[in-house]
Structure 1
Amino acid sequence: MEASRQDEYREFVAMRSTALLRLAVLLTGGDRHAAEDLLQIALMKAYGRWARIEQPEAYVRQIMYRQQVNRWRLRRHHAEVTVPVLPESGGEEGAGADLELRVALWAALGRLSKRQRAVVVLRYFEDLPEAEVAALLGCPVGTVRSTAHRSLAKLRALVPDLDPGGPGEQQLPLGYTAKEMQT
């Protein structure tokens, strides 16, 4: 690869790796080590084709989605490992309730099945249309809709504070927007 393309790649990794790692953590159900592995694999695959990539972030995200779906398929019969309760962290006063809600959401996401978590992350956190989620997961659009409905119902049952008063298709679980969940 020529030097200018290597510099572009390094700049892309430096600027976007934090956001891509957040996505990887969501896709892996909060497993930081698996998320780092997922991101590393995606960046490695992108590096090999860097000269031909027109939209690098979309390309890397697509690799991450597909790689994680492949992992789920391979580990379909293995028990899922639960994540221990997150430790308390110091923060602003008044942010405690918000922090507790976020911790509860992370824990609830970990209790969803792999497919349910994938649908919620892709549909609501990544804001992908149902058809694209269906294509990524290799299932019909109706399955995505029903899985999203059941997943949101389960999240609301696990964390009652998430229910903003009614199910809105455009509204994220717990009433957060995608930007709020990424911070």
Structure 2
Amino acid sequence: MNGPMFNPPGGGGMDGADAQTMAAVRSMQMLMESCPGKTVVSGVMGFALGGAFGLFMASMQYDTPLSSSPNAQAITSLPLRQQLRAGFKDLGSRSFSSAKNFGKVGAIFAGTECCIEGFRAKNDLKNGVMAGCITGGVLAAPAGPQAAALGCAGFAAFSLAIDSYMRRPSETD
């Protein structure tokens, strides 16, 4: 860790617990500054966010049980316990699917951006745009080259918009 060591108020020296805490903080910082660490953390956080988002979106589908979906009539004719079991099973599978997708996007984008930043030795908007292009292209590649090009352009534009917004000066500066 660069810079002065943290000394608690009172001027006391560091005891064993403080040294152990500082070692843990240093190891966490090293993990978060490494590309593999950023990739894993982004994938896990994306998975969690995707799971929550998927849970919310899947739960919204059941707000009208007599909707026009083909399974609605079949589900409503079942006893309540089986309706709940089928609903929760569907909710879980949709939530897990969304979690996997968000986790994959987060891991690919963060890992790619970190590698580009390390290669270029700069932290600017171009890193996010290039990482967005690569991520969008990779995710859309199974659908063909035209889809990959559109995915690249779309994700790069989205990354540019988000990065530009996040880098704008705050009102307190």
Same fold flag (TM > 0.5): no
Higher Cα Rg: structure 1 or 2?
A: 2
Comparing both chains, which one has the higher relative contact order based on Cα–Cα distances under 8 Å and sequence gaps of 6 or more? 2
Which structure features the higher share of helix residues? Answer: 2
Q: TM-score, normalised by structure 2?
A: 0.30
